[in-house]
Structure 1
Amino acid sequence: MKRLFLILCVLVFFVSSCKKLDDNYKQFIGDGEITYVGKADSLHLRGGDRRAELSWLLMSDPSVSSYKVYWNNRQDSLLGNLVKTEDVDTVRLIIDDLTEETHEFEVFLYDKDGNTSVLSSVVGKVYGPLYNRTLLNRLVREATSLRGDQLELSLAAAEETLLYSEVKYLNIHNELITHPIARGVETDILYDFPNGGSFEMRSAFKPDSLALDTFYTDFEPFETEMAVFVEDPLELSFETKVQYGTQEGQFAVLVSTDFNGVYDEENIGDATWTDITEEFDIATGTSDLASGIKNLDPYMKPSTPIYVAFTYTYRPDAGTPRNWTLGKVLVKSVEDGRVVGVDSEDLNIVVIGETDRDVAVPVSSGTKITFRGNTGLRDKPLVTWAISGPLE
């Protein structure tokens, strides 16, 4: 009986307390209820050049009629009207004249009676001159004049925020050309470019993928030197095959324009040789493989002969020697197909190292040469050179 009386007392006290709370609540809201309108949904910020774009969705509440945006600790604000349709609407708002820093924006929506939504807020970065001064133009590693009024640009890899670069120049027809270079391009050609001409370049950046504005470096001027071209450049082709052994990288193709034509170890060593092996297709098996045709123009100098060399190198610690056969060596002019040499039998053989047999053997009636290592002396290094005469 006592337990039942206690429960009844608690219930009476609870109902009485609730009524008092309800009376206190009505002191603030009067006889009506609080009405909230739909809030700015999916609020986003895109920072730009001393400005920002706010965007949000208007969902299903048809009563929304205006907005108010606060920033700078609510010292600045912006008001505007809205028209709600039957669909989900997107609102985009540009706010100008902002300081270059991180901002918080607060958005409230209102109906025609002044009822407000709950707060929506977003934080983001606004950019400006300070950011712009950190940007560096894309690096031009080299500018090379080519035949046919062309300039080849070699560029450094693009940094992450670079969008593209832009080149301007006057072409051979005195026309102003604007040429874009995509961020993924590291070698590009400027066509109808005057020999010894100049160009200027700037680069475009976005601080992040959603940034509102693109930022640019200043145009940077570049001068090019007048190029002197070989009047009638040469091209080279040959065939190779390989068998036996395991050693890699034994066969190479080289060119020189400062070799003095004295075919001995000392004078070969004093010359500057450029390795162009990777410019050709080189055999990997026992069938003859055509090398393809390589234009030697990039390696030639006006009024200066060029020498072509094929080398066979044996290294004692790199596996057993292989047999390399070279044939159908042909050098001819690009312009008129004039054959200037050389067949395999015209090559000058120079052996550097000890030998116990002939290591450069003419085959197929002298039209081919087989390079090979020693049968013994496998602990001795060996380099065999086969060098053309002067070609021009």
Structure 2
Amino acid sequence: MKIVVVGGGSTYTPELIDGMARLRTELPVDEIVLVDPAEDRRELLAAVSRRMLRKLDHPARVSTTADPAQAADGAAAVLLQLRVGGQAARARDERWPLDCGCVGQETTGAGGLAKALRTVPVVTEIADTVRDVNPDAWIVDFTNPVGIVTRALLQEGHRAVGLCNVAIGLQRYFAELLGTEPGRVELDHVGLNHLTWERRVLLDGEDVLPGLLAGHGDAIAARIGLPVALLRELGVVPSYYLRYFYLHDQVVREQRGTGSRAEEVAAMEKQLLEMYADPTIDSKPDLLAGRGGAHYSDAAVALMASLLGDRRDVQVANVRNSGTLPFLPDDAVIEVPSTIGADGATPLPVASVPPLFTGLIGAVTAYEHLALEAAVHGGADRVRAALLAHPLVGQWDLAESLTERLLAENRRYLSWAG
């Protein structure tokens, strides 16, 4: 089985290689192709990947290329983990919105829109290339903003499923708190990518979330950066990204007083690349855990194994709504437990969602629709419309100012911006 990793020069790649090696019985891979335009990065990551596989006695061959078409030939799945503009673009996304009093973040708000505008055209071009060469290959998208990017792929008829590590990370965390195996824990996980709530935590089918909040509320709240009083008031566990909505002004003050996350990650990546260049390094460095993407490899391997092996199991994925949340359009992309098999990801029925959550889900879905329109068709007017619809912006003067800054910061990536 051949698996292609687009963005193979990412420092995330050893996490993925480690998962493929550990979970070899689930996903019997014999060839891994790392695709990246940066030759030095892809060859460096290929070398450490080969050492890791040798150490774990895994037979897979690792090859590299800059050409997605060459890589896609004969591939069972193509995993997308790319970042257009690198950490430098991310650092800008996290800074210029603060000048307007808005959160600076790479997947939501004005910074998230900038990332979507840069990313969607690149991802869809790669997906078109893959389909031309190998229409049967599955595309697994881990590229942020996952909801918008996955919607772009599905809108163009690609065989695609979106992947995020938030749900699996919380599942593993709750299992640890409960002192049990992760396989016994299921989540009632509902919402959009990076806008989700855990409404129930099921241990062998029994909801144990009230007990978790009673016994571990402070620890859970600290992990997701939200007040424990909010969690107990809502009776749910929001994703970390909800703090940008529930604590917007506090987050802006914090961000103005500290270095950006992109600066932290860039420093970490520098260390990781130095480690990967060491010919004695043949395992995933502990430092990688701080890079983000915890349990990414487990989620990716499980998803690909079920798509390619028709396992018909349940995993949290980013999928087409198709009536699952009746207050959203059918073509919206939602993040919910889904049955994964050879025909793709099918969302399971979802219990009624209360107005406290539907309002925010609906507003962000509308923003994502407008963001995709801007990414596909361009135009400052479409950018302004998307920002005006976003709950973290929502004011005309801010939308105007942020549009000007977004275009100024990203002209080199947006052919239509002039």
Which interval holds the TM-score relative to the shorter structure? under 0.3
Question: Whose relative contact order is higher, 1 or 2, with alpha carbons under 8 Å and at least 6 apart?
Answer: 2
Select the structure of larger CA radius of gyration.
1
TM score, norm. by length of structure 2: 0.21
Q: Which has a greater percent of helix?
A: 2
